Amino acid sequence: MTLLKASKVSIIFGGLKAVSNFDIEIEEGELIGLIGPNGAGKTTVFNLLTGVYEPTDGKIEFDGKSIVKHKPYQITQRGIARTFQNIRLFSDLTVIDNVKIAYHFHVKYNLFEAVSRLGRFHNEEAEIEKKALRLLEVFNLADKRDEVAKNLPYGEQRRLEIARALATQPKLLLLDEPAAGMNPQETQKLMEMIRWIRKEFKLTVLLIEHDMSLVMGVCERIIVLDYGSVIARGTPAEIRENPKVIEAYLGEEVPGC
């Protein structure tokens, strides 16, 4: 079943066509990579899919319903969660609170129950605490539950951000350069983790990455973006051989050199 379908999506900033005629179809359970040189419009695509930007043109459907003109929080509630290229944790809060916040829109108790501590409050809070802890355990962060997020090492902050995104219980997870700033070993571990969470949480994953080894190693399909347009799509092997992709990354071959 098609989970996400975008057709002919474009966005114009002033005179700049940042993304033009972007098409994508993601089937449930797929793991797709979105690559491209710097400034190709990858993050802009993420921002379009998550409602940060409204497309100038085109359609985006998630789970069979249009999500254009929806606010980012509504799109998250529909089941798309994301991480950010530059980590955006709630940096002064504890690790566990970061995750608890992500459960917010699943909470059923109302304001009155919260203030009076009656009704569903205690049960649901206990439930959230339990779920958040379980998630932290999965990501090997349980022993740091009371640590302030900004004091975590970089790699752990990235993991926490993914854990937090998963706490919203999404169907589609968008990862924006999850391996940025990681060394090869950490990247390797991250690859395994992405594969594992996809299986464990029955997720569909779309990821942006610069690190070719990660993309080639983990993704089943790859979409290459350059100057806002899709220049190639296919399996990792096909992409590696594609002359257009090589050109976009390394430049044109100059005859006589």
Partner 1 sequence: MKERTKRDIIFVGISVLLYAVIEALILYRVIPPYFERGIVTVCINVILAASLNLINGITGQFSIGHAGFMAVGGYVSAILTVKLGMSFSVAIIAGAAAAGVLGVLIGLPTLRLNGDYLAIATLGLGEIIRIVILNISYVGGAAGLNGVPKDTNFTWVFGMMIFTLLFIRNLVESSHGRACIAIRENEIAAEAMGINTTRYKVLAFTIGATFAGVAGALFVHYTYVASPSSFTFMKSIDILTMVVLGGLGSMTGSVVGAVVLTLLTFFLADYPQIRGVIYSLLLIVLMLYRPQGLFGNKEFSLKMLSRLTGGGRRDVA
List contacts with partner 1 (CB under 8 A).
Answer: 50, 52, 71-73, 76-77, 81-82, 84, 88-93, 97, 100-105, 107, 109, 111, 114-117, 121-122, 124-126, 128, 151, 164-165, 168
DSSP code of residue 144: G
Distance CA(18)–CA(132), nearest Å, equals 38
Query: Edge-to-edge strand order for the sheet containing 80-82?
Result: 80-82, 172-176, 204-208, 31-35, 221-226, 229-234
Query: Edge-to-edge strand order for the sheet containing 2-13?
Result: 16-27, 2-13, 57-62, 65-66
Q: How far is the CB of 170 from partner 1 (least distance, A)?
A: 9
Looking at the Cβ atoms of 89 and 218, the one nearer to partner 1 is 89
Q: How far is the CB of 124 from partner 1 (least distance, A)?
A: 8
* Distances 252 to 219, 247, 248 between C-alpha atoms, Å: 26, 5, 8
Q: How far is the CB of 174 from partner 1 (least distance, A)?
A: 10
Q: How far is the CB of 67 from partner 1 (least distance, A)?
A: 13
Distance CA(178)–CA(58), nearest Å, equals 28
Looking at the Cβ atoms of 19 and 80, the one nearer to partner 1 is 80
Q: What share of the chain is helix, strand, coil (3-state, %, to 5)?
A: 40, 25, 35
Looking at the Cβ atoms of 120 and 189, the one nearer to partner 1 is 120
Looking at the Cβ atoms of 77 and 188, the one nearer to partner 1 is 77
Q: How far is the CB of 154 from partner 1 (least distance, A)?
A: 17
Q: How far is the CB of 231 from partner 1 (least distance, A)?
A: 29
Looking at the Cβ atoms of 100 and 221, the one nearer to partner 1 is 100
Looking at the Cβ atoms of 158 and 221, the one nearer to partner 1 is 158
